[in-house]
Every structure is written in structure tokens, then in C-alpha cells.
Amino acid sequence: MRRMLAMAAVLVSMVAVTTAAAPAEKSFTSKPFMGAKANTGTVTATVDGGKITLKVSDDFQIPDTPAPSWQVVDSKGNVYLLNQMKIKSGTNRQITLPAYIKDVAKVQVWCSWAEALLGEAAFETIVK
């Protein structure tokens, strides 16, 4: 009986250590978008398991331009042009960033057709 209790205690402590070591999902909300065409809403960044997912708020209006695209600026000032926000099947209001983007300082809406910045939203802290 003692042996079974000892084994159960070891099992319980292993579960507690494993659960405590699992990183919690982190969420960050940006300041409001500011710009000529993208000037409503915010973007929320969620970090889960090392992956960063960006999602615009419900009140964000995707600009009525030919090719509004997601663009991310990291803490070193590197700029990454990503997917378009408008696609044939609807809109891309959410995007999971590729692994090579390690952090996010700002999210921008970029018009790929006109090559113009339509608006941007900055985070108070760097999203990692």
C-alpha cells in the first residue's frame, strides 16, 4: 500500500510540474489604427506556443483600395509584407505570422497596388 501511495505522489508531482511549465497564452491589444484610409479599430496579437496570431477588431474597416495587405514591423525596424486583406472568398481579418518573424512592434495596412501606407497600429510593448 505504501508503495502505491508513493507512486501516486510521484505521478501527481510530475503532473503539477508539467502543467506549471506549460507557457500560458499571452494577448496584446494595439493602440487604434491611425492613417489616411485605415483609421478605425485595433489589432490583437496572441502568442501561443511561440506562434504570433494577429486579428483586427470587429470595428476595423478594411480600406476600399485595390490591394490592402498586412504588413508587420518588428522591434529592429524590419518590415514584412504579408497576405492581402481582401481575397476572393472574403477577407483575411486574422493572420498567423511565419516563424521567421520573431516579434511585432507595429501592424500596418499597406496598399500593394499604390505602394502606399494606409494606416498603422502600434503596440505599447513588443509582442514576442
Looking at the predicted structure, is the pLDDT value of residue 62 above 60?
A: yes
Looking at the predicted structure, is the pLDDT value of residue 77 above 90?
A: yes
- pLDDT confidence tier of residue 13, bands split at 50, 70 and 90: low
34 with 78: CB under 8 angstroms?
A: no
pLDDT tens digits along 99-123: 999 999 999 999 999 999 999 999 9
pLDDT, position 87: 78
Burial letters for 5-17: b for 16+ Cβ neighbours within 10 Å, e otherwise?
eeeeeeeeeeeee
**Chosen CATH of 25-127 out of 2.30.30, 2.20.28, 2.60.40, 3.40.190:** 2.60.40
